[in-house]
C-alpha cells in the first residue's frame, strides 16, 4: 500500500522516537527491555495505517504490540494515529521489510504474529513474496516462542486458500478457521481499515489461526 509522498515524514518520525523506533536492528538487548516488562509481545507484519495494532494495544494493556511497515508514507499515518491515541505505552512502530525479522528479533522472542490483508501477489511467479509462503513461515517459526501463533485475515479467497495449503504443508497445526468472520459476530474482533471497507461492501473476511507443531 502506498500513499501520496510526504516529504516531511522522515523528520516527523524522528521527532517521535519514543514510539517509532528508528533503528530496530540495534535492539540487541531484546524488546522486553525497551518496554520495561516481560509481557507477551505481539507483532503485526504489514501494519498499514495502524488501526488494528493501535486498537489492540488500547484493548490489551497487558500485551506489548509492535507494528511493522515497509513504507514511510504509510507508517507515518500509523504514527499520527498513535499520537492521537496518546501513544499507548505498550505500542511501538518501526519501518522495515518483513523479510528482515531475523535481523530485528531474537529467537523465541515473539508470542504472536498478525498478518492482516497482506498483498496477495496474485501472479504465480510472485508466490514467494506472499507473507504466508514457506520462506516467511521459516522466519516466523524462528522468532516465535513455544506455543506462539500466527493470526491471519484477508478478503482474498485465493490467498486464503494458498495460505491454508502453505501452512499445512509446512507442518503447522491449524486452529480456528473462518470463511466468513463477520457472520460469526465475534465481539472482540478489531478491524483494520481494509476490513471495514471490504465488510461494508458485503465481502466475506477469511481468518485463521495456526501454530507450529514443534513449538
Known catalytic residues?
119
Grid cell digits, residue 22:
528508528
Nearest-angstrom CA–CA distance, 187 and 53:
17
C-alpha cell at 109: 522472542
Give the residue among 117, 108, 175, 176 at the shortest CA–CA distance from 142: 108
Amino acid at each position: 500500500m502506498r500513499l501520496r509522498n510526504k516529504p516531511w515524514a522522515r523528520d516527523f518520525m524522528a521527532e517521535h522516537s519514543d514510539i517509532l523506533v528508528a533503528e530496530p536492528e540495534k535492539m540487541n538487548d531484546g524488546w522486553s527491555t525497551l518496554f520495561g516488562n516481560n509481557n507477551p509481545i505481539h507483532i503485526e507484519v504489514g501494519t498499514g495505517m495502524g488501526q488494528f495494532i493501535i486498537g489492540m494495544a488500547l484493548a490489551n494493556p497487558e500485551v506489548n504490540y509492535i507494528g511493522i511497515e515497509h513504507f514511510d508514507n504509510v507508517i507515518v499515518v500509523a504514527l499520527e494515529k498513535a499520537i492521537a491515541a496518546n501513544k499507548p505505552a505498550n505500542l511501538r512502530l518501526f519501518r522495515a521489510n518483513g523479510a528482515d525479522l531475523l535481523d530485528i528479533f531474537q529467537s523465541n522472542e515473539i508470542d504472536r504474529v498478525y498478518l492482516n490483508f497482506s498483498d496477495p501477489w496474485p501472479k504465480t511467479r510472485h508466490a514467494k513474496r506472499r507473507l504466508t509462503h514457506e520462506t516467511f513461515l521459516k522466519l516466523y517459526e524462528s522468532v516465535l516462542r513455544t506455543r506462539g501463533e500466527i493470526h491471519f485475515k484477508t478478503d482474498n479467497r485465493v490467498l486464503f486458500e494458498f495460505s491454508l495449503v502453505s501452512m499445512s504443508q509446512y507442518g503447522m497445526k491449524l486452529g480456528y478457521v473462518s470463511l466468513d468472520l463477520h457472520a460469526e459476530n465475534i465481539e472482540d474482533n478489531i478491524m483494520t481499515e481494509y476490513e471495514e471497507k471490504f465488510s461494508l461492501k458485503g465481502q466475506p473476511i477469511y481468518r485463521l489461526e495456526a501454530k507450529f507443531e514443534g513449538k
